Amino acid sequence: MSVTYIDAIREALETLLREDPRVFLYGQDIATFGGAFKATKGLAEMFPNRVFDCPISEDAMIGLAVGAAIEGMRPIVEMQFADFSSVAFNQIVNQAATHFYRTGVPIPITVRLPSGGTPGSGPFHSQSMEGIYAQYPGIVVLTPASVSDAYHMLIDAVTLDDPVIFCEHKFLYRWLKAKSINGDHLPIGQARIVRPGKHATVVAYSAMVHEAVRAADRLQQDGWEIEVVDLRSVKPLDIDTVLASVARTGRLLAVGEAFPWGGVTAEVVSRVTEEGFHLLDAPPQRLNARDTPVPYHPKLWAAHRPTPESICQALRKLLTF
């Protein structure tokens, strides 16, 4: 029997509802309908008065979660798509993220963002918002790439006393399968080396981990051994694991699905340049989506985001510098 990434998320939500009376779920179409991606399927029946449909009011959804957290609850808010969290941006970055620093009262809310592109989703159902939220102090930003991480990191996220932006990748929802949800259960804030190598380091997160591993598989046929680091958590960023990898390989490529200006890959390259310049044998490289809105047509979309082909191309350039 196999478990998908969305199964793991649903299972984590069920575990959380069963084990922690402070947890409730708030989101659009998540009760009877079970959520746009069925992440909450059946939970409203299993847990009466714990799973709520709410008006299309992203700002007020987060405001309500903040208020409930002040009064001791652990709300989990589902944004129907990560893209719509821009409507809640103010409540996330100004209300939730500043609260502990300003008042000393923590805001343990978890905001689930179905993130990233899928073919045919277009500009407003495809965005990757992790870099934007990570730029603000007071927020933890998680980007699980495996079935096991989707389960364990969601449970850990709700356990944290801080606001967590939990970026789930929509492409991984049903495409990614594992034999079970068991795994190494690394703590939040620790990166994982998913594929060891010695010639170059690819730092990736979320769905890009899988694209990077495919690229590494192809380059292996030519004798190149590529190390792939899955950040898991983009904030806090485990730069120690990245630096240790770069120390072994001397070369760095950071891959992300978000827009190219700034963001997670820029932060990784900047930190490695700052703290590990002496480790580098070649200029560190970045590969991101293109600097346009995410296009609708699958052919355009596939050329907008990094792919195994474009990652291979970037790596060959890096390896032959």
Partner 1 sequence: MLRARILENKLSSLYKAGKIVGGVYLGRGQEAVSATLGTALIQGTDFFAPLIRDQAGRTAFGEPLLDCTRTYLGSVQGPMRGRDGNIHRGRPKEGMPAMISHLGSQVSVVAGMLFAKRLQGTLEGRVGATCIGDGASSTGAFHEGLNLAAVEKLPLVVVIGNNQFAYSTPNDRQFACADLVEKARGYGIGGMAVDGTDLLACASVITEAVRRARAGQGPQMVVARLLRLSGHGEHDDAFYVPGEVKQGHYGRDCIEVAMRQLVENGIATVEEILTWQEQFADEVQRAVAQAQQEAAPDPYHENWTALATRFPLATPTPTQAVFP
Residues within the interface to partner 1 (CB under 8 A): 3, 7, 11, 15, 24, 49-50, 54-55, 57-73, 75, 87, 90-91, 94-95, 97-106, 137-138, 140, 151-152, 156, 160-162, 180-182, 184-190, 236, 238
- Cβ-based neighbour number of residue 46 at 10 Å: 11
Shorter beta-carbon distance to partner 1: residue 93 or 254? 93
Pick from 208, 209, 218, 240: which is nearest to 305 by CA?
208
> Rounded to the nearest whole angstrom, what is the least distance from the CB of residue 113 to partner 1 in the complex?
19
> Which letter does DSSP use for residue 22 in this model?
T
> Rounded to the nearest whole angstrom, what is the least distance from the CB of residue 40 to partner 1 in the complex?
17
Pick from 133, 154, 159, 128: which is nearest to 235 by CA?
133
Q: Report the DSSP beta bridge partners of residue 193.
A: 229
Residues 6+ apart with CB under 8 A from 52: 24, 25, 26, 27, 30, 31
> Rounded to the nearest whole angstrom, what is the least distance from the CB of residue 161 to partner 1 in the complex?
4
Which of 125, 152, 199, 304 is catalytic? The answer is 125
Shorter beta-carbon distance to partner 1: residue 53 or 309? 53
> Rounded to the nearest whole angstrom, what is the least distance from the CB of residue 180 to partner 1 in the complex?
6
Q: Are strands 200-204 and 226-230 parallel, antiparallel or unpaired?
A: parallel
CA distance linking residue 262 with residue 266, whole number of Å: 5
Cα–Cα distance list, 45 to 14, 31, 73, 203, 320 (Å):
11, 8, 20, 41, 58
User: At which residue do the structure tokens 């002040």 appear?
Assistant: 70
Shorter beta-carbon distance to partner 1: residue 64 or 315? 64
Shorter beta-carbon distance to partner 1: residue 234 or 311? 234
CA distance linking residue 150 with residue 161, whole number of Å: 19
CA distance linking residue 190 with residue 186, whole number of Å: 7
Shorter beta-carbon distance to partner 1: residue 58 or 230? 58
Q: 125 an active-site residue?
A: yes
> Rounded to the nearest whole angstrom, what is the least distance from the CB of residue 280 to partner 1 in the complex?
25
Three-state SS at 12: helix
The C-alpha R_g of the chain, in whole angstroms, comes to 19
Instruction: Just list the catalytic residues.
Output: 125
